[in-house]
Chains A and B, each alone.
Chain A
Amino acid sequence: MSEKARVTIDGITVEVEPGISILNAARQIGGDLVPPAMCYYSKLEGSGGKCRTCLVKVSKGSEKDPRPMPKLVASCRTTVMDGMEVENMTSPEVIEARKGIVELLLINHPLDCPICDQAGECDLQNLGYEHGAAGTRYEFERRTFDKIDIGDKIQLHMTRCILCYRCVFTADQLTNNRVHGILGRGDASEISTYIENVITNDFSGNVIDVCPVGALTDKTFRFKNRVWFTKPVDAHRDCPTCKGKVALWYKGEEVLRVTGRKDQYGEVEDFICNACRFDHKKTSDWVIEGPRHIENTSVISSNHYDTMKPLPVIQQNKALMEANKVEFERTKKI
């Protein structure tokens, strides 16, 4: 189909391929109007729809059927229609709902960022900073689990998990034998392998990259260093099992860890194999391409969070200024 669909998101119109999701249409525009996504991962089929942080308001269904959608919809799993109008940051309702979701995601999260290896490149940290409230109203004991080793290279710290199911999809779609999954129901559900089974697959290490929080961590990197003190470098090698395109994270002369190359939405370009990830940690194993470009909005490069650049529509509208108040105040402090 060559006919493009015209979608308007927060007053900005874009022409996109029909059939893609609202979230991906927003990513084509970029900037602050991209809804955050914790569980959606464009490389994993079937992911998304679970965390509900990407909720948006559809104020006009399509050109043919202009009725608004009755509820907020998950933008990662709702396809665009020609003439659709979507409100994300320009809808106080969405901002309010998202704030609620962030609070709910955090009530059982340990908030142990100071000792978490994911800190600095954690999607939940970013989400909490950008969309959450400063305090919590939750006064009960938080849910905890024991740490378990799934294989000799990966550690699972279930307490931090937000149950995005990304690692389950990864194992399903990248490997031919998934040995971990969700056990239990409701808020007692946990990611685990049945009877502490060990994950031994060539591509199992990718669950570390797709994990939005610090629930699945690289045991070879645990407590070695803070992410923002290491220097990322693009490198490749001739790998028989994967494409061999990776990012090396240096501290001085030493390669501390190897990961896939993550884009600004935290998604890797290519999945890499375990041999590249865990067994080749010498500079001589790799052909260096040059420093990895990290978005200057990332904490890793600038050591602080990006300031918000509100859309003109928001600045002209009093109700929206009010809804975004927390973000503006935070911006002033920096």
Chain B
Amino acid sequence: MARKLLLEHIQVPDIHTFDVYRKHGGYRAVEKALKGMSSDDVVEEVKKSGLRGRGGAGFPTGMKWSFLAKPEGKARYLVCNADESEPGTFKDRYLMTYLPHLLIEGMIVSSFALGANLSYIYVRGEMMPQIRILEKAIAEAKNAGFLGKNILGSGYNLELCVQPGGGAYICGEETALIESLEGKRGLPRIKPPFPAISGLWNCPTVVNNVESIAAVVPIINDGGDEYAKRGNGRSTGTKLISASGNLVKPGVYEIELGLPVEEFIYSDEYCGGIANGKKLKAVVAGGSSVPILPANLILKNTNGENRLMSYESLSEGGFQTGTMLGSGGFIAFDEDACIVRNTWNYARFYHHESCGQCSPCREGTGWMEKVLHRIEYGHGQMSDIDLLVDVAKKIEGNTICPLGDAAAWPVASAIRHFRDEFEWHVKHPKEAMERNYGLGDYANPLLKKAEN
């Protein structure tokens, strides 16, 4: 790809220290924004860039910022959501480990744009090394005069706090994160009111993902229009993808949105193909909560066009034949992977992470996990498959926060696309314990194309 925006200097030794980062053009965005731009100018640039939230939902960041209420006499807060805990997603951890100053630079510019004088970085509790790295980086930045009172003589004050969470997946939901930050149980709030009106300490609050905030830096450096030229259609810019699973080269890659999925999996620049010369069976394209797709549907959509790594292309076909870009947790499964076991594993995760506040998610996630466990261990019945679909449908959309949807989608989509494999598990329980279903016809070209 052309020039990287976020990971441009990732290979430079000691880029995590202030001096090296500064030498490579770091904190230019802070200087540019604080010295020559008003806060509205910054918001306008971000709007022009078309940057969409990198945490999963893909809501335009500039739009989110412009919704922030600005009542007189009330503080405003920016909270960075670094509670990254979706199975398969590890891009924020990577960014914070190797480029902590990029996040801090983005935090300063974003806080300036929103008029926040105290901003938080809420980091998942398990990421203790990253918390130390960030705290050290904040001290360095403060020492150099980029944080604290009267930054660069502009009269703008900003304090940054790193807050470790308790390691709960639910605290990645923005209102639960705010509750947790206030020192309460991490339970999602009932919306409305939205955080933009009443968030942290009942003050207007914006919660953004680590990568969204980091992306503000190249937007300010190069200008929003320049950023919008990258990418594809309404999916502008670059995105970090954390690739895992049966790949030759798993890891974090910065891609330009609009890259064909096939190229991402098979080219040597990125994942380098499926490990051990096996065949691709299925892909979870954006972290465990998005629908899983078989190989034939992830490479090409039902119209026979190549699927691209972009918000629109991945979701083409809705939930029937599409999926979502989500948080960029790209998981590839080869022909030896068992989809039933994988689905059970996801259901187990969501059962464990459900906060227990609202009844469909609290009871339903546990139920789905138990039924999937039964199928995986050879005690399933044919009726279980339809039961799972029905329970998933009863959870989806009926809960307070999107965790219910996130728990229901992987189960519903696995059954939608891999029903043969589920039925095989029920019909041949003994065989299913001894070997995997194999590739089936999941990699074969779609039948519909032949009819046309």
CB A109 to nearest CB in B, in angstroms, measures 10
Give the residues from 92 to 125 in chain A that come closer than 8 angstroms, CB to CB, to chain B. 97, 100-101, 103-105, 107-108
Residue B399 is within 8 A (CB to CB) of chain A in the complex: yes
Give the residues from 362 to 410 in chain B that come closer than 8 angstroms, CB to CB, to chain A. 362-367, 370, 387, 390-391, 393-394, 397-400
Q: Are A185 and B367 in contact (CB under 8 A)?
A: no
Q: A137-B387, A182-B185, A187-B366 are in contact. Are A51 and B358 (CB under 8 A)?
A: yes
Contacts of A135 in B (CB 8 A): none
Q: Are A107 and B397 in contact (CB under 8 A)?
A: no
Output the nearest chain A residue to B387 by Cβ-Cβ distance: A137
CB A213 to nearest CB in B, in angstroms, measures 12
Q: A97-B394, A101-B398, A104-B394 are in contact. Are A50 and B351 (CB under 8 A)?
A: no
Residue B148 is within 8 A (CB to CB) of chain A in the complex: no
Q: How far is the CA of A48 from the CA of B189 in the complex (A)?
A: 11
Q: Are B362 and A163 in contact (CB under 8 A)?
A: yes
Q: A49-B400, A52-B399, A186-B365 are in contact. Are A101 and B360 (CB under 8 A)?
A: yes
Residue B352 is within 8 A (CB to CB) of chain A in the complex: yes
Output the nearest chain B residue to A183 by Cβ-Cβ distance: B185
Give the residues from 395 to 448 in chain B that come closer than 8 angstroms, CB to CB, to chain A. 397-400
Q: How far is the CA of A104 from the CA of B363 in the complex (A)?
A: 6
Q: Are B356 and A189 in contact (CB under 8 A)?
A: yes
Q: How far is the CA of A195 from the CA of B302 in the complex (A)?
A: 58
Q: How far is the CA of A188 from the CA of B390 in the complex (A)?
A: 23
Contacts of B351 in A (CB 8 A): 186-187
Residue B313 is within 8 A (CB to CB) of chain A in the complex: no
Question: Count of A-B contacts with CB under 8 A?
Answer: 84
Q: Are B360 and A104 in contact (CB under 8 A)?
A: yes
Residue A294 is within 8 A (CB to CB) of chain B in the complex: no
Q: Are B398 and A107 in contact (CB under 8 A)?
A: no
Q: Are A52 and B190 in contact (CB under 8 A)?
A: no
- A69-109 toward B: CB 8 Å interface, digit per residue (1/0)? 00110100100000000000000000001001101110110
Prevailing SS type, chain A contact patch = loop
Residue A145 is within 8 A (CB to CB) of chain B in the complex: no
Q: How far is the CA of A189 from the CA of B366 in the complex (A)?
A: 13
Residue A233 is within 8 A (CB to CB) of chain B in the complex: no
Residue B102 is within 8 A (CB to CB) of chain A in the complex: no
Residue B359 is within 8 A (CB to CB) of chain A in the complex: yes
Counting chain B residues whose Cβ lies within 8 A of the other chain, the interface size class is 20 to 34
Contacts of A165 in B (CB 8 A): 357
Q: Are B398 and A50 in contact (CB under 8 A)?
A: no
Contacts of B340 in A (CB 8 A): none
Q: Which of A77, A103, A140, A184 contacts B190 (CB 8 A)?
A: A77
- A112-152 toward B: CB 8 Å interface, digit per residue (1/0)? 00000000000000000000000001101000000000000
CB A137 to nearest CB in B, in angstroms, measures 6
Q: Which of A48, A53, A107, A185 contacts B363 (CB 8 A)?
A: A107
Give the residues from 344 to 360 in chain B that come closer than 8 angstroms, CB to CB, to chain A. 351-360
Counting chain A residues whose Cβ lies within 8 A of the other chain, the interface size class is 20 to 34
Q: How far is the CA of A182 from the CA of B359 in the complex (A)?
A: 15
Q: Are B358 and A108 in contact (CB under 8 A)?
A: no
CB B383 to nearest CB in A, in angstroms, measures 8
- B287-316 toward A: CB 8 Å interface, digit per residue (1/0)? 000000000000000000000000000000
Q: How far is the CA of A299 from the CA of B434 in the complex (A)?
A: 56
Residue B332 is within 8 A (CB to CB) of chain A in the complex: no
Q: How far is the CA of A163 from the CA of B397 in the complex (A)?
A: 20
Q: Are A72 and B397 in contact (CB under 8 A)?
A: yes
Q: How far is the CA of A226 from the CA of B345 in the complex (A)?
A: 46
Residue B168 is within 8 A (CB to CB) of chain A in the complex: yes
User: Which of B354, B362, B393 lies at the interface centre, i.e. has the most chain A CB atoms within 10 A of its CB?
Assistant: B362
Please provide the 3 A-B residue pairs with the shortest distance between their CB atoms, ordered closest to farther.
A100-B394, A189-B356, A49-B190
Interface residues of chain A, those whose CB is within 8 Å of chain B, are 48-53, 55, 71-72, 74, 77, 97, 100-101, 103-105, 107-108, 137-138, 140, 162-163, 165, 182, 184-189
Question: What are 28 A-B interface contacts by the 8 Å CB criterion?
Answer: A49-B400, A50-B358, A50-B400, A52-B399, A53-B359, A71-B397, A74-B400, A100-B360, A100-B391, A105-B359, A107-B367, A140-B367, A140-B370, A165-B357, A182-B356, A185-B168, A185-B354, A185-B355, A185-B356, A186-B353, A186-B354, A186-B362, A186-B365, A186-B366, A187-B351, A187-B354, A187-B356, A187-B362
